[in-house]
Amino acid sequence: MKIVLVAAVALIDPEGRVLLAQRPEGKSLAGLWEFPGGKVEPGESPEHALIRELDEELAIKTHSSCLAPLTFATHAYEDFHLLMPLFACRRWSGIPAPQEGQKLAWVRAHDLRNYPMPPADIPLIPILRDWL
Ligand SMILES: Nc1nc2c([nH]c(=O)n2[C@@H]2O[C@H](COP(=O)(O)OP(=O)(O)OP(=O)(O)O)[C@@H](O)[C@H]2O)c(=O)[nH]1
């Protein structure tokens, strides 16, 4: 099965809330809430992919020194196997603003379970909750 490498990030605000983005209509897993990020392109590092995706999706800038490895997801979808490192980030410049029509939510740790997420993300919720 093809392994797809996706880099994702938990952006954490000064109140300890995490940013989730809702996948827009027309995409796979539409309507589910996910961590910002996306596929790592050939020749890219996961950190560089995230810096690019954060700029494209949310119009914010960050630096690899602001991305701390937190945990990862591994999940067999029907047509590919997802391997997704999850970084934590508390420092960026700009205010996250949806660039692709996605809804955004700043979510407190104990409210994460109220936001339907892709199956790959479910095991990440308690890890993030314990860590925050
Ligand atoms: N960014 C992100 N992607 C996730 C998460 N959880 C999860 O299963 N994914 C999956 O990882 C892939 C992310 O790739 P992407 O965001 O660049 O893909 P895409 O929607 O542009 O393309 P696609 O519609 O072909 O999946 C998707 O298949 C998405 O469903 C998550 O928390 N954040």
Kindly write down the DSSP assignment for every residue of 63-74, as one continuous string. -GGG-EEEEEEE
Of all protein residues, whose CA lies closest to atom 4 belonging to ligand 1?
A: 34
* Span 73-98, average pLDDT: 98
Helix (H) or strand (E) holding 11: strand 3-11
Residue 101: pLDDT over 90: no
Residue 83: pLDDT over 90: yes
124 lines ligand 1 (CB under 6 A): no
Of all protein residues, whose CA lies closest to atom 13 belonging to ligand 1?
A: 38
Q: CA–CA separation, 25 vs 66, rounded Å?
A: 31
Domain of 56? 3-131
Amino acid at the residue 125: I
Tokens standing for residue 4: 């797809």
Residue 25: pLDDT over 90: no
* CATH assignment at residue 92: 3.90.79.10
* Residue the block writes with tokens 């407190």: 108
CA 56 to chain CA mean position, Å? 13
Hey, what's the torsion of the CAs at 120, 122, 123, 125, to 10 degrees? 130
Q: In total, how many domains does the chain have?
A: 1
39 lines ligand 1 (CB under 6 A): yes
> What confidence tens digit (pLDDT) does each residue in 48-76 have?
999 999 999 999 999 999 999 999 999 99
Helix (H) or strand (E) holding 45: none
